[in-house]
C-alpha cells in the first residue's frame, strides 16, 4: 500500500517514512486493504517491509502502544473497488452527464468502503466470504441502502432478484454482531405511502442492530435515459411524507428517547417547512448523508455569533449556493447585516443548468454554472463564498473540472470555500 501523506508528530514520521513509500508486509503478512493494514498494525511489536520510492527495500522493526495509529494516508483504501451489479431505477450515477471524469461513473458497492467511509451498500453483491470477513474483522457499523423491506418492491427498484433477500441479508449481519445505519431513496408511487409505513416498521423492529434510518427524496437529472417512470416530490408530496414519518419519530422517541427515523433536508425545503431542532437529530448519525446538515449549519452560525465581534468594515460579499438553501442563507445574512451596518452580503442562488434545474443542492453545482451566474450578477466585491461540497475532496476542482483558479482569472475577489455555519459567519466578519 502506497503512502501519500505523513502526519506531523506521528509514528510514521518518527519512523522516517515518507510519501511514496509502499508498505509491502506487516509481520510477514501483505495487507490487502486499509482494513487489514489497521488490523495488522494493532499488535505491539511490528516489523514492516517497506519499499521506498527509489525501489530499495527496508525492514523496520519497532514497538508501539496497542492503540497507537501509524499516522499516514494511503493512495487507495482497497485493492480493487467492488462495483455494483444492480441496475437501480433511481441510480444517480446513470444520470451523470456524458464525458465526465471516469471516477464519477464508478458504482461502488463495497462493504469495506461502507465501514471505512460510510458509503452505502445494497448487500446484493456480498459473497459468503465477504460476510465471513465482516464477522472476523467485526466491521461495524455498516451503511445499508434498504429502500424497501418488501422483497418484490425492492427487487423491482434494484432490478435484481437478489434484492428480495434483504431480510436474510440483514439477519446475516446481525448474526455477525454487526450494527448498521440504513437509508431509503424515496420514489413517488413506488416505495412511498403504505410501502414506506411497512419498511419503517420492519427496520424499527431490528433495533438496536439498526442504528438509524434516513429517508431522502429521489433526484432526477436531465440526463436520465431510463424508461422506468420516475418522478420527483413536489411541495404537497413532501409535506405528506413529513406528516407520515412524524408518527414513527414520535413512537421511537417514546420508546427509546431517540428519533431514529430522519428525513433529508430536501423534504423540508420542498414543503416550505422549518428545519426541526437539533434534538430531533440526536447525535446527527447520518449528517454525511445530508441529514440535518442545514440545522447544524444554522446552529453553528448562531453559536459563532456570540463569539465574533464586528471586525469587517465596508465588506462586500457574494455568496454562491444551490437554490434550495438560498432562503436560509439570505435570512442569516440579513441578520448579520443588521448587526453590522457596514456589511453588504448578496446571496446568489445558482440554477443548475448542467444537471437540470430540479437538482437544487449546493453540492452538485458545477463551475460552469457558477461562472455564468457570477457574470450575470457581476459587481466589485471583496469576497465570493462558494460551497466546499461542490469541490472534489481536498481540491479546488468542480464536478465539470472547472477550477477555482479559472474563476479567479475572471473575478478579482477573494474566493473562499465554506462548509459550516461557523465558517460562513467568520467569512462575513473577517477580511
How many beta carbons lie within 10 A of that of residue 204, not counting itself? Answer: 17
Burial classification of residue 285, based on how many CB atoms lie within 10 Å of its CB (0-12 exposed, 13-18 middle, 19 or more buried): buried
Q: Is the pTM of this model over 0.85?
A: yes
b/e burial code for range 349-369 (CB count within 10 A of at least 16 → b): bbebebbbeebbbbebbbbbb
Write the DSSP assignment of 300-328 as a string of letters.
Answer: HHHHHHTT-----SS-EEEEEEETTTHHH
Q: CB–CB of 258/282 below 8 Å?
A: yes
How many beta carbons lie within 10 A of that of residue 294, not counting itself? Answer: 21
What is the C-alpha to C-alpha distance for residues 136 and 122, in angstroms, rounded to an integer?
A: 20
Question: Would the CA dihedral through 196, 198, 201, 204 be positive or negative?
Answer: negative
b/e burial code for range 163-184 (CB count within 10 A of at least 16 → b): bbbbeebbebbeebebbbbbbb
b/e burial code for range 98-135 (CB count within 10 A of at least 16 → b): eeeeeeeeebbbbbbbbbbebbbbbbbbbeeebbebbb
Task: State which H helix or E strand residue 30 sits in.
Answer: none
What is the C-alpha to C-alpha distance for residues 251 and 76, in angstroms, rounded to an integer?
A: 42
Q: CB–CB of 29/49 below 8 Å?
A: no
- How is the beta sheet containing 22-26 ordered, strand by strand? 22-26, 45-51, 57-63
Would you call 337 helix, strand, or coil by DSSP? Answer: helix
Q: CB–CB of 418/424 below 8 Å?
A: yes
Q: CB–CB of 381/316 below 8 Å?
A: yes
Domains of the chain: 3-74 (2.30.42.10), 93-290 (3.80.30), 298-429 (3.40.50)
Number of separate helices (H) and strands (E) present in the chain: 14, 13
Write the DSSP assignment of 257-275 as a string of letters.
Answer: SS--EEE-HHHHHHHT-PP
Strand partners, 321: 349
User: So what's the pLDDT on residue 310?
Assistant: 53
What is the C-alpha to C-alpha distance for residues 430 and 398, in angstroms, rounded to an integer?
A: 26
Length of the chain: 431
User: So what's the pLDDT on residue 429?
Assistant: 81
How many beta carbons lie within 10 A of that of residue 12, not counting itself? Answer: 21
Q: CB–CB of 141/207 below 8 Å?
A: no
Mean per-residue pLDDT pooled into runs of 10, the chain (431 residues): 91 91 92 89 90 91 87 87 90 86 80 94 94 94 98 97 96 96 97 98 98 96 92 96 98 97 96 95 93 95 71 82 96 90 93 93 95 95 95 91 95 94 89 65
CA-based nearest residue to 4, from 21, 16, 28, 23? 21
CA-based nearest residue to 383, from 322, 341, 339, 333? 333
Would you call 175 helix, strand, or coil by DSSP? Answer: helix
Amino acid at each position: 500500500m502506497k503512502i501519500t501523506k505523513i502526519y506531523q508528530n506521528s509514528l510514521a514520521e518518527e519512523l522516517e517514512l515518507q510519501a511514496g513509500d509502499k508498505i509491502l508486509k506487516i509481520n510477514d503478512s501483505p495487507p490487502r486493504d486499509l482494513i487489514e493494514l489497521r488490523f495488522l498494525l494493532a499488535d505491539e511489536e511490528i516489523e514492516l517491509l517497506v519499499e521506498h520510492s527509489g525501489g530499495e527495500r527496508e525492514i523496520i522493526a519497532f514497538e508501539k502502544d496497542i492503540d497507537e495509529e501509524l499516522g499516514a494516508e494511503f493512495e487507495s483504501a482497497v485493492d480493487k473497488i467492488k462495483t455494483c451489479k444492480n441496475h437501480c431505477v433511481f441510480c444517480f450515477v446513470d444520470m451523470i452527464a456524458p464525458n465526465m471524469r471516469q471516477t464519477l461513473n464508478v458504482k461502488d458497492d463495497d462493504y469495506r468502503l461502507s465501514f471505512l467511509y460510510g458509503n452505502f451498500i445494497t448487500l446484493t453483491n456480498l459473497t459468503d466470504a465477504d460476510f465471513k470477513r465482516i464477522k472476523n474483522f467485526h466491521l461495524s457499523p455498516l451503511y445499508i441502502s434498504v429502500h424497501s423491506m418488501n422483497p418484490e418492491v425492492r427487487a423491482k427498484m434494484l432490478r435484481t432478484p437478489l434484492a428480495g433477500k434483504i431480510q436474510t441479508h440483514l439477519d446475516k449481519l446481525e448474526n455477525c454482531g454487526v450494527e448498521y445505519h440504513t437509508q431509503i431513496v424515496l420514489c413517488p408511487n413506488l416505495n412511498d405511502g403504505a410501502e414506506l409505513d411497512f419498511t419503517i416498521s420492519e427496520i424499527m423492529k431490528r433495533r438496536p442492530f439498526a442504528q438509524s434510518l434516513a429517508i431522502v427524496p429521489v433526484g432526477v437529472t436531465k440526463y436520465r435515459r431510463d424508461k422506468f417512470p420516475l418522478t420527483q416530490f413536489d411541495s404537497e408530496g413532501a409535506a405528506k411524507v413529513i406528516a407520515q414519518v412524524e408518527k414513527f419519530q414520535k413512537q421511537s422517541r417514546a420508546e427509546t428517547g431517540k428519533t431514529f427515523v430522519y428525513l433529508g433536508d430536501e423534504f423540508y425545503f420542498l414543503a416550505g417547512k422549518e428545519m426541526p431542532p437539533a434534538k430531533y437529530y440526536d447525535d446527527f448519525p447520518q449528517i454525511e448523508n445530508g441529514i440535518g446538515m442545514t440545522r447544524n449549519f444554522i446552529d453553528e452560525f448562531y453559536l459563532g455569533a456570540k463569539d465574533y465581534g464586528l471586525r469587517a468594515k465596508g465588506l462586500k460579499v457574494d455568496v454562491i449556493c444551490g437554490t434550495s438553501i438560498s432562503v436560509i442563507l439570505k435570512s442569516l445574512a440579513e441578520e448579520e447585516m443588521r448587526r453590522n451596518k457596514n456589511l453588504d452580503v448578496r446571496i446568489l442562488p445558482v440554477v443548475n443548468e448542467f444537471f437540470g434545474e430540479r437538482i437544487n443542492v449546493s453540492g452538485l453545482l458545477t463551475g460552469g454554472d457558477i461562472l455564468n451566474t457570477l457574470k450575470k450578477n457581476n459587481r466589485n466585491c471583496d469576497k465570493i463564498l462558494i460551497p466546499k461540497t461542490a469541490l472534489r475532496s481536498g481540491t479546488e476542482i468542480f464536478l465539470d473540472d472547472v477550477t477555482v483558479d479559472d474563476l479567479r482569472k475572471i473575478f478579482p475577489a477573494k474566493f473562499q470555500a465554506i462548509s459550516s455555519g461557523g465558517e460562513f459567519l467568520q467569512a462575513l466578519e473577517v477580511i
